[in-house]
Chains A and B, each alone.
Chain A
Amino acid sequence: MIYFSVALPGRLADWCDTAIAWLAAQDGRTVERLTFADAVDGKVSILDEIALALVRSNADHVVVGIRRLNAGLMDTLRETGVPFVLGLADPRAAVADIAGGEGGTFLHITREMANMAPLMMRTMRMPGGLAIRPADTVTRGANTLARIARHLGISLDEVQAHAIAARLDPDADRNWEARIPPQMHKLVNGALGGYAAHFSGGELGDLVWQRDLFLAGDDDARSPSGPIALRDTANGRFLVYGPYLALPPGYWSAKVVMGISPEAVGQTFTVDAFSGRHLAVTKILARAEGIFTAEIGFEVDEEAARNIEIRVSIGRDVAPGYLAFGHVRLHPVAIRHEDSVIAVEGDFRAVLSL
């Protein structure tokens, strides 16, 4: 048998993989564990590697740990209807775990998790998935094992469940803040806190894309941490653009917080959302120096759900003054769930006598 464990990298992922492997090995069968740390590119590579490992191995069962999901593999899981375990860790804790394990900059890891989280959200709605949360491993370990065994079609009695639970290291101590430098908290929490709320059972919260995730429109492609000279907008360049992150499909409102110097009063700024095509655009006249907010609303469909940009530009080629870029707060107005569309379709058809 092939058992899938899908989870962001970290302790919950290890718990899920180990639990499944020990459950599958109960009857004396041999189990091989395969962990795919990288999404690779597209579905072909992971599918190839699973089969090649199965051919090389003589194990009766294979536990496939997927740490970085990709759309292609999701399609395969959906098409085949194979049951799998979905570890829903706090993505902020995943950032801390990756930084402490695989390494990498917090900015890079945060970007990666921010792109992964919308895929995890889609995976949560797939019928084959069994969601496991960190709390499930701490206080109800044996019950959780029983749920996993039932979902994967593995027989398990209560004594065995308690014995395995006692050997597993629960995913406790999820204090991500203690494991991430304080100066990174705003960045990590802003990009991922909204998803953390959803993964723990609540609604998707607001997301805040801090300026470190964006690029200033000069030749150095640096983040807009300091003042940006408006004259830099010459030749059609954007003052600020980025962060090329994914969002769950649905309707979003974005508040772009900026500040301007006195010389820039009277300038008109253009703020738009872009993902291969314009999603929304607004113009705003800066009537006074200081902080102001531009708000745009836009729809993200499946096609535009990746590489989303929020961009700021100015109408004139060479304008005086400076812009300071703050952040973008994104509020999910209505998130599109493929399954819910299917569920209500019948009602609409009945009302419209179709």
Chain B
Amino acid sequence: MLYFIVGLPGCFGRWCAHATAAMVRKTRPCEVVMADTAAQLTRQLLRTGGGETVVLASHPGGRLHAALVQSNRNFVVTVDDPRYVLAELVLEGREFRDALRLVASACAVIPRYAASPRALVLGAGRHEAVAAAGMMASHFACPCDGDSLGAIVAGLPGPAGEDNRARAWWTMLDPARRTIAQDALGAYLGAADKPQPLTWGREMFLANDCPLSGPVDITGRARVLFEGPEVTLPEGAWRLSLETEISRAATEQEFELELFAGRRLASRTVRPERSGPMRAHLDVVVDDSVDYPLSLRLSTRRAAFDGTVTLVRATAHPR
């Protein structure tokens, strides 16, 4: 039996997963695994033996969503303030970019899961711990009485984690990083009815597996210059734009802009007409067939003797 907890990858989601596992363990052994794709889930189930399993997923792919909906299986969706979940992850030692892309990806998929009639939506801080555990027990049909729930909750760390530390971290966050985080998460902070534009700064991209910091020297063989942000987008039709600054020596080059999500979804050749700003875009439809976070990749198409490309930002606009 699989019990799915979908939500932001912070303390509250983990608390829900471990509380559910403790309830199941009253009658049978149970493991907690983390998986966002179907393949990850299979590997985890093979490691644990595939018995009773609580699956904690922060940004499960589209095919997993389709299977979950088809299965008529009850599941729990946890919601939280993404800024404080970001803080929790960084305070736990996760690298800022990695934490931000995890939180942004979770924010993108949660509404889709929360809208399902099989979802029990629990908000961090909105429910008393025993009450939240009771709602999950009822939703998952785990036979637990009030005493058992009290004992389970008493045996777990609090569902809110170190809330004050997270708030303090966010308040004290370096302004540049705060801007990056707000650009990537801002669309999810309000209660908008429709998808909002998203912006990803340079720090969300990698060049040679290192965070992108300044101009990229294109001298050398044809190669990938940078790629990112590796973030899931909400379901729908999107236009992804890449804004760069091209040096004069780089204007004779041809570049390839590609969009990946586990596989290549779109590509185009870009020929800068002059030095200075260069903007290129790709269109994509995010649906249940998209299983992985999206990444834009800019490459040179042939060897270059000189020139630089500077990434300004990437944006996603709903179409």
Contacts and interface: CB of A to CB of B under 8 A. Distances in A.
Chains A and B belong together in one complex? yes
B43 A2 contact: no
A81 to B, nearest CB: 8
Interface string A76-117: 100110100000000000000000000000000000000000
A71 interface: no
Contact of B67 (A44, A52, A79, A80): A52
A103 to B, nearest CB: 30
Interface of B is mostly: helix
A48 B47 contact: no
Interface string A39-77: 000011001111110111110101000000000000010
A54 B45 contact: yes
B37 interface: yes
Interface string B32-63: 00010111011101110111000000000001
A178 interface: no
Nearest to A72: B39
Interface of A is mostly: helix
Contact of A2 (B37, B46, B70, B262): B46
A69 B45 CA distance: 20
B41 A51 contact: yes
B38 A47 contact: yes
A341 interface: no
A1 interface: yes
A48 B66 CA distance: 13
B73 interface: yes
B71 A55 contact: yes
B282 interface: no
A69 to B, nearest CB: 16
B39 A51 contact: yes
A47 B42 CA distance: 6
A290 to B, nearest CB: 52
Nearest to B73: A55
Contacts of B42: 2, 47-48, 50-51, 54, 76
B63 A80 contact: no
B64 interface: yes
A300 B63 CA distance: 40
A58 to B, nearest CB: 8
A62 B42 CA distance: 12
Nearest to A48: B38
Contacts of B262: 44
B68 interface: yes
B70 A56 contact: yes
Nearest to B262: A44
Contact of B47 (A44, A54, A80): A80
Given A47-B38, A47-B42, A82-B46, A52 B63 contact: yes
Nearest to A49: B38
Given A52-B63, A54-B2, A56-B70, A44 B43 contact: no
Contacts of A48: 37-39, 42, 63, 291
A82 B44 CA distance: 11
Contacts of B43: 47, 76, 79-80
B73 A2 contact: no
A194 B216 CA distance: 56
Contacts of A79: 43
Nearest to B47: A80
A52 B38 contact: yes
A230 to B, nearest CB: 41
B261 to A, nearest CB: 13
A48 B292 CA distance: 12
Interface in A295-351: none
Given A1-B51, A47-B38, A47-B39, A52 B46 contact: no
Contact of A55 (B2, B47, B50, B51): B2
18 contacts: A2-B45, A44-B262, A47-B39, A47-B43, A48-B42, A48-B63, A49-B38, A51-B35, A52-B63, A55-B41, A55-B71, A55-B73, A56-B67, A58-B71, A62-B50, A76-B42, A80-B43, A82-B46
Closest 7 CB pairs of A and B: A51-B38, A47-B39, A51-B41, A48-B38, A80-B46, A55-B67, A47-B42
Given A52-B38, A55-B41, 17 more contacts: A2-B45, A2-B46, A47-B38, A47-B39, A47-B42, A49-B38, A51-B41, A51-B64, A54-B45, A54-B50, A55-B64, A56-B71, A58-B71, A62-B50, A76-B46, A80-B46, A82-B46
